[in-house]
A and B are shown apart, each in its own frame.
Chain A
Amino acid sequence: MSLQMSGIHAAYGLREVLAGIDLSIPAGSITAVIGRSGSGKSTLLQVAAGLLAPQAGEVACDGRLACVFQDARLLPWCRARDNAAFGLKCLGVARRERRERAAAMLTRLGLADAVDCWPAELSGGMRQRVALARAFLVAPRVLLLDEPFSALDPGLRLELLSMLRTELACNCAVLMVTHDVSEAATIADRIVVLDGQPASIVVEHDLGRPVRPRSLPEAHWIAARLFADQKVAAAFAIDSAPSNVVSLKVS
């Protein structure tokens, strides 16, 4: 088991956000946590990343961890190559080697021409690919994704989701939080729905591992099935009619 969260309770001051979350993510699988804005998804990710200490419960992470955030979080004063190599630098990899590996990874992600660009010269999608390269390069056992594709157009999002499947070794556990049900259904092996104040897991759906990212119609069909569940519909505060879930993006 690569990431194990047991009995997680978390709070910001007196406001309890998470109440008793149990989540196990085996190596080689992708779990998507969905829920509407403010449902505690990002808090769960912060607890998993060790950025927020839980009030109760335990997080066991089996190996190296990497995180990709919604806003890429590149260092504006470093070129794309050095940003991609940041994780390797933290691991103590020699400068020449990490720069070579970073350039090779950026090339694989379609950024061969942007290796020496500053982040300000890159588009949102390119920055997000640099952030993915930074995470892939450390060969994480656990990868945490905080709505990393939410600001991108559907075509680019599908492309990056495909890269996620192809670049990750089968021994990596991925925890992705998103409010976009279609995005979750495109790639996840399992979808977990958070709801309530404080939040807890209300629904877990095992989808099985897709050979490749699911097509948009497939994802919409899965989303429609999900929303047939009253608990999921209630979590997003919408009617459970399937017609509502085509191109569904709850904000």
Chain B
Amino acid sequence: MNGIIFNIQRFTIHDGPGMRTELFLKGCPLRCEWCSNPESWLPYIQIGVYKTKCISLKKCGLCEEACPKENVLNFTRGKLTSIDRSKCTNCLACYDACPSDAIKQWGKVMSIEECMKEIRKDIGYYERSGGGVTVSGGEPLLQSDFVAELFKICKEEGIHTCCESTLHADWREIEKILPYTDLIISDIKHMDTTIHKKYTGVDNNKILENLKKLADKNYEMILRIPIIPDVNDDMKNIEATADFILNELRNRVRTLQLLSFMRLGEEKYSSLGIPYKMENVKLNRKSFQKHINEISNYFNSRGIHCLVGTKEKQ
């Protein structure tokens, strides 16, 4: 079985306990405005353009020679700056030809065995640190059969498994992976479904439903809230989130992690020719951090184990 993966990052410590190898799966039904992985959205291979790495048409020109179509590659002042996505077929000829990492291939089809080969390289580190494998995305549940098969083999080999998901999926997709999944990381972006839809493109009904089911089954869960200024950081939403965790999830959350908004991924947006919607957000980092600490204090005062950042211990 094959999956489509856009990045394998070794030695991550942010998504799950210990040192982990993290596989980022391509394809996502959400379009969160603050998303830092826009290359994860579409479920097929894409070309990314990094204009600062281009050594110029004059000195090189190999991409232009390789492209089978006319006028797909756009050059500004002699350097490759973008691709006409309406004409590009993602054939990768320009990527193969480019000598300088100016053209990047986002996404790669990989077999389970190829993934396991990468995963096994760091097995010693997982054992010592209580780490393992995390699949993230995109939305890994779009490739739930692949994840289930991969995790099944991991479990056979004694490797801890964690799935970071939006949970915007049918329950039957989740069920496929549950038998082989040790930990689920998910997030609540907003309690108000209209606002949720406005900023992510989908409503939150499935997500909240799935969270309740997982809590009912006593599943190991880490929950997160990406704190986005003026989107979900008002106390009304925070209180509603706390109510939901206490009343609907019966506080069956290992840790609630607050992730403060960072301007990440802008370069990736530009490589894909997608406008970055958070461009105009300006915030005072110091007072914003203070605000997040207050939110964290609030959750803790309600009896929810809450931390700022991706840690589980103070």
Q: Do A and B bind each other?
A: no
